[in-house]
Structure 1
Amino acid sequence: MARFLFVVPPLVGHVNPAAGVAAELTARGHEVAWAGHEELLWQLAGPGALVFACGLPPGAPARPPGLKGPAALRFLWQDFLVPLADAMAPGVAAAIDAFAPHVVVADQQALAGGLLAEARGLPWVTSATTSAELADPLAGMPKVADWVGSLLDGLRSRIAGGRGTADPRFSPHGVLAFTTRELLGPAALPPRVHLVGPSLGSRPSTSDFAWDWLDPLRPTVLVSLGTANTEAGAGFLAAAAKAFARVEARAVLVDPGGVLGPVPPNVLVCPRVPQLPLLARVDAVLCHAGHNTVCEALWHGLPLVVAPIRDDQPVVAAQVVAAGAGVRLRFGRADADRIAAAVEEVLTEPSYRRAAETVAASFRAAGGSGAAAGHLEQLALESLARLRPGTS
């Protein structure tokens, strides 16, 4: 039996894949602990999860609307990733001391995990919940890459005593990437990247749902912009609701911020939904091209309409289109007419579903949480073998 410490940021889309892997490790008899945001982890990993609380940056600035390009990258690193690592570092260090893990699993956006694991001489694996970083987006921007490197050097000096040299986003011990070539495409990858496919473990139920509203004789589309786009998505959600007044389909529209007014009778508005069970009952997905939502839809062989908003979403949207599994809209220009036309296209043109089913088959063949757990077990065995008898 081995001990695994998962270090995750306070982001649903980053916790859920890790939770599937953690559940698989627990089922195999290993011990699992978490370092991160207590409330979110108990919600997503279960109330019995062993959680070491980590701090959040004080007075974190709100992301300015419409931020794109270099300005968005600057905000991500300077105002989110680095302050988050500084805030999480004491909790991660305390977790390592108290739990004594054999392996640390550190999310790409929880930089403190990789930095502190390396500084302590612990084997660690990167959890890459989106494929956007894998293709080295800074390869053509050397000055930006140098700037990111200087931020990491400063962070390493502050929280890890300057020890270590590895990029915390790409562990030399391995990277778990929750995708496959059929979606990722032919991009060159860093060494030791394991394409394990989506990790879709069971999740605690967080909402009731009116299952009787679904009509098996009419196609249904799930419309969701994720959990972090309420302000940016108000106009898009309103246009999507209007679009379904002219589409021969039903829509389940996720509106966590309660921004919508009256909607057509074939639209069901919910503040949240049980996404995985619902995906098994719908025919297509309209979303922001968040990596988790895209992969969960494709796991079910569902065609997509994607309207990326920011960050990695344009990259993921391009992968969907290149795979033939969906249609892309420009988020800022997606009015009711364009949304209606795109939804009708993916519902009526069978090639999109066939392509989605091809990606789904690759996901299942990759192994998901079971394959990820296997890689982690192997690393733990190597770690235990280096210990003297009786010290594990």
Structure 2
Amino acid sequence: MSRFLFVVPPLAGHVNAAGAVARALLARGHDVAWVGPESALRRLLGDGVTVYPTGMRPYGGQRDRGARALRSLWEGFVLPFARFTRPAVARAVAAYRPDVVAVDQHALAGALVATAAGLPWASLAPQSMELTEPLRALPRVDAWIRANLAAMWCEAGLPAEEYVDPRFSPHLVLGFTTPALTGPAPFPPHYALVGPALDHDRPDEPDFPWAALDPRRRLVLVTMGTLAEDVARDFYPRLVAALAPLGDRVQAVIAAAPHTVPDPPPHVLVVPRAPVLELLPRVGAVICHAGLNTVCEALAYGIPLVMAPIKHDQPVTAAQVVAAGAGVRVRFGRSRPAELRAALTEVLDSPPYRAAAARVAESFAAAGGAAAAAIHLERLATS
């Protein structure tokens, strides 16, 4: 039996993927513990997990778009989260004595502490941009991030001449996608693309009004991510206007705060949160922000997408889906109702989109998902 310590940020998409891998490790007889904000992790993982708490502090908002959004993500969250949690991560490593530390790319303290302790560590890459395109399109932001990472390395007392980018483990990088989506990028040998890590036993799944679903209509799921409420307020009215004339053939479920979706027609159901994995077998199309978790969950079920990317890695992921033939990209800020409606009917009615989504789904199944990720971590622990 080996001991694995997961270091993750308190973000559902990141924790859900890591949680699926952790449960696969537990099923193989290993021991697992977590480092992070305790209340958030227990809500997402359940009360039965071992959590070494880091505490939580306010972080900067995420209203920016484009290059400014990426820099604000790092400046307002990723870097201060790493500095704030590093002492707690060090205490957890000393107390738990793991064989391997599994580190989300946005929880950099895990990489710094594991390196200082001489422990093997694996990077968990829950997004597209830094796995496949390390910010080449934004050289100034890339240079700024790299300079801050190098400074943080030295702040942790690590020798400058031994610097390793803490986003990318030299031992193992786990990507929750496959080349069917990323394209034929030349990944190093220690990169393992295992496909999405899905687990239907998520403890935090919400209640849902299943009786309200109409089997005579094509079901469309709309989810713009957990952090998009402020910036999506203008998008939802345009989307509702796009859906309004489709009531004879489409039923939509929008996962959003009800006050952000004004006056939905009867065939549009608005819920604060949706049990996505339970809904997907019934869904004909997904409208989303092109977050990698949502995209891969949909494609794992062979469901085509309409994507309105907002920021961060989402344009990269949307471009990958379009290149794979499994979806359509629309403009988040400027698409009018007619354009949104045309995109939705195109993916619903054109068989090539579903066929392409099915090909990606086959690649995901072959890659192995959470079970394959657990095997790679197991090998790292015994190497």
TM-score computed with the length of structure 1 as normaliser: 0.93
Q: Distance in 2 between the 1:144 and 1:336 partners? A: 34
Is 2:91 aligned against 1:94? yes
Report the equivalent of 1:364.
365
Is 2:220 aligned against 1:210? no
Q: Distance in 2 between the 1:225 and 1:136 partners? A: 23
TM superposition shift of 1:60: 2.2
Deviates more, 1:86-95 or 1:292-301: 86-95
Report the equivalent of 2:30.
30
* 1:214-253 matched pairs, under 5 angstroms: 214-247=213-246, 248-253=249-254
- Matched residue of 2:282: which SS? coil
Report the equivalent of 2:42.
42
Q: Is the 8 A contact 2:258 2:271 kept in 1?
A: no
Report the equivalent of 1:273.
274
Q: Is the 8 A contact 1:242 1:264 kept in 2?
A: no
TM superposition shift of 1:102: 0.2
TM superposition shift of 1:187: 2.3
* 1:143-292 matched pairs, under 5 angstroms: 144-162=141-159, 164-201=162-199, 202-247=201-246, 248-256=249-257, 258-292=259-293
- Matched residue of 1:263: which SS? coil
Is 2:348 aligned against 1:347? yes
Give the AA of the match of 2:198: L
Report the equivalent of 1:386.
none
Q: Distance in 2 between the 1:258 and 1:52 partners? A: 36
Give the root-mean-square deviation of aligned CA atoms.
Answer: 1.6
Relative to structure 1, the CA distance from residue 252 to residue 30 in structure 2 (aligned partners, 3 Å threshold; closer, same or farther) is same
TM superposition shift of 1:6: 0.3
Report the equivalent of 1:389.
none
TM superposition shift of 1:161: 4.6
TM superposition shift of 1:100: 0.3
Q: Is the 8 A contact 1:198 1:296 kept in 2?
A: yes
Report the equivalent of 1:117.
114
Give the AA of the match of 2:100: V
Give the AA of the match of 1:20: A
- Matched residue of 2:236: which SS? helix
Deviates more, 1:271-280 or 1:146-155: 146-155
Report the equivalent of 1:309.
310
Q: Distance in 1 between the 2:36 and 2:175 partners? A: 20
Q: Distance in 2 between the 1:136 and 1:249 partners? A: 37
Cα offsets for 1:58-77 (capped at 9, x unmatched): 442223x34322x2332222
Q: Distance in 2 between the 1:145 and 1:207 partners? A: 38
Q: Is the 8 A contact 2:71 2:141 kept in 1?
A: no
- Matched residue of 1:170: which SS? coil
Q: Distance in 2 between the 1:59 and 1:200 partners? A: 30
Q: Is the 8 A contact 2:43 2:204 kept in 1?
A: no
Give the AA of the match of 2:114: A
TM superposition shift of 1:141: 5.7
Question: Identity, % of aligned pairs?
Answer: 51
TM-score computed with the length of structure 2 as normaliser: 0.95
Give the AA of the match of 1:245: A
- Matched residue of 2:222: which SS? strand
Is 2:49 aligned against 1:52? no
Q: 1:132 aligns with which of 110, 129, 134?
A: 129
Q: Is the 8 A contact 2:304 2:326 kept in 1?
A: yes
Q: Distance in 2 between the 1:149 and 1:274 partners? A: 38
TM superposition shift of 1:191: 4.3
Q: Distance in 2 between the 1:184 and 1:137 partners? A: 13
Relative to structure 1, the CA distance from residue 190 to residue 148 in structure 2 (aligned partners, 3 Å threshold; closer, same or farther) is farther
Q: Distance in 1 between the 2:118 and 2:143 partners? A: 26
Q: Distance in 2 between the 1:315 and 1:125 partners? A: 23
Relative to structure 1, the CA distance from residue 142 to residue 61 in structure 2 (aligned partners, 3 Å threshold; closer, same or farther) is closer
Q: Distance in 2 between the 1:309 and 1:92 partners? A: 32
Deviates more, 1:236-245 or 1:153-162: 153-162
- Matched residue of 1:232: which SS? coil
TM superposition shift of 1:253: 0.7
TM superposition shift of 1:149: 2.5
Give the AA of the match of 1:238: P
Report the equivalent of 1:381.
382
TM superposition shift of 1:138: 3.2
Q: Is the 8 A contact 2:122 2:171 kept in 1?
A: yes
Give the AA of the match of 2:186: A
Q: Is the 8 A contact 2:78 2:106 kept in 1?
A: yes
Q: Distance in 2 between the 1:78 and 1:257 partners? A: 31
* 1:5-20 matched pairs, under 5 angstroms: 5-20=5-20
Deviates more, 1:72-81 or 1:277-286: 72-81
Q: Distance in 1 between the 2:310 and 2:15 partners? A: 21
- Matched residue of 2:254: which SS? strand
Give the AA of the match of 1:12: A
Q: Distance in 2 between the 1:270 and 1:243 partners? A: 19
Relative to structure 1, the CA distance from residue 117 to residue 327 in structure 2 (aligned partners, 3 Å threshold; closer, same or farther) is same
Number of matched pairs? 379
Q: Distance in 2 between the 1:143 and 1:12 partners? A: 29
Give the AA of the match of 1:328: R
- Matched residue of 1:231: which SS? coil
Relative to structure 1, the CA distance from residue 143 to residue 289 in structure 2 (aligned partners, 3 Å threshold; closer, same or farther) is closer
Q: 1:84 aligns with which of 64, 81, 84?
A: 81
Relative to structure 1, the CA distance from residue 306 to residue 92 in structure 2 (aligned partners, 3 Å threshold; closer, same or farther) is same
TM superposition shift of 1:146: 3.8
